Amino acid sequence: MGNGKRWFWVGSRNSVRDAVAAVCASPPVDEPLASVAPGDIVVVDAVSRAEAQALPHGHVFSGVRALKDKKGVAVYVVVSADDRVGPQLARFVLADGVLTWHEAKGQIEAGSMLPAGQKQKRASIDALLAKLQPTPGSQKQETSLQRLLRFEREDTLLTRLQDSETGLFDGPYATLKLDEEWKRAHRFQQPLSLVLLDLGVRVAELVDAERRLVLAEAAGVFLNECRDIDVLARFQPTVFLFLLPGTGPDGAGVLANRILASLRARFSARSDVTPVAGLCSVPGADVPDRKAFLAIAEACLARAASTGPGTVSATWQ
């Protein structure tokens, strides 16, 4: 390569070593492999059991991976031109590339050999984005990027599916997501929990401004306690639906109790906020479809309401 880089040799074939030296325009350094440092190159040829001891862990596979842990060190593996498996093994052990040995010609093919730390040049992303920007008077078809930016500026579909008083999703969207998550849970055999939480019927009887304040504060509690992947929606005037992917009954119960505790702390001075929750989880032998899934959660909510404020029920019978 003629770039002044140090390179180390681990192998048994002198002819291959000399061919690599010709490519590198220098002989391998006469130092133990343990002295390899960032910026160096290591070339690994076919080695005997004794020669493999020079590699970390005394094994080609483990040795190459250990050398790659040293940032800035490039490792290349020599493979014969007729070896179809060698390149795949080299990639498997995380080598930077292969050096193909043509034994009949006594030559090494090292077109992909780069100095340690040197990367293939890539087109500038800024240049790519600049090409996609519309030019004055241009009649070109709208690009996907331009369409994405336009959609971001417009009133989105998700915005139209939000409940105006809480900012959470509305019932129709919750129904759509319930069907989607139900199918995903059954396809991949993953747990899914549904929590219904009622703030109490007296909240719906509050005057408009007071009701909006209570609903907004409750929504803040919900968003603070839930994960980004959870689906939160206002399902009925005072009932909220929580769809929890990858969550079983224990996790759902913990979340429901935590939300009720936060609501009690937030509305400790109000007697008209009396939250209760009911939950259902799948897989379960008594939950044959998503309709039963929702019906059982609603029955559990009714049982919790009959027990009293602050109750979480996972039993409906």
pLDDT tens per residue, range 171-230: 888 899 999 999 999 888 899 999 999 999 999 999 999 999 999 999 999 999 998 899
Do 90 and 167 reside in the same domain of the chain?
Answer: no
Residue 148 lies in a domain: no
Checking DSSP bridges between strand 107-109 and strand 97-102, what pairing results, if any? antiparallel
Do 169 and 307 reside in the same domain of the chain?
Answer: yes
* CATH number of the domain encompassing residue 22: 3.40.50
Boundaries of domain holding 15 = 7-109
Q: Which run of H or of E encompasses 15? A: helix 14-24
User: Quick one: DSSP state of residue 82?
Assistant: T
For the chain, how many structural domains are there in total?
Answer: 2
Do 191 and 77 reside in the same domain of the chain?
Answer: no
% pLDDT > 70, the chain = 76
Cα–chain-centroid distance for residue 221? 26
- Whether the pTM exceeds 0.95: the reply is no
Q: How far apart are CA 101 and CA 167, in angstroms?
A: 65
Q: What is the pLDDT of residues 190-205, one digit of tens each?
A: 999 999 999 999 999 9
Burial of 35 (0-12, 13-18, 19+ CB in 10 A): exposed
Strands across the sheet containing 7-10: 7-10, 41-44, 74-80, 97-102, 107-109
* CATH number of the domain encompassing residue 259: 3.30.70.270
C-beta separation of 267 from 226 below 8 A: no
Q: How confident is the model at residue 316 (pLDDT cuts 50, 70, 90)?
A: confident
**Residue 233 in 3-state DSSP?**
strand
Q: How far apart are CA 15 and CA 242, in angstroms?
A: 69
Residue 130 lies in a domain: no
Q: How far apart are CA 184 and CA 194, in angstroms?
A: 14
Mean pLDDT of 94-110: 83
Strand residues in 155-301 grouped as ranges (E): 192-198, 231-234, 239-245, 276-282
Report the chain's C-alpha Rg in angstroms. Answer: 32
Q: How many residues does the chain have?
A: 317
**pLDDT of 313 strictly over 80:** yes
C-alpha distances in Å from residue 145, one per residue of 57, 136, 140: 49, 17, 13
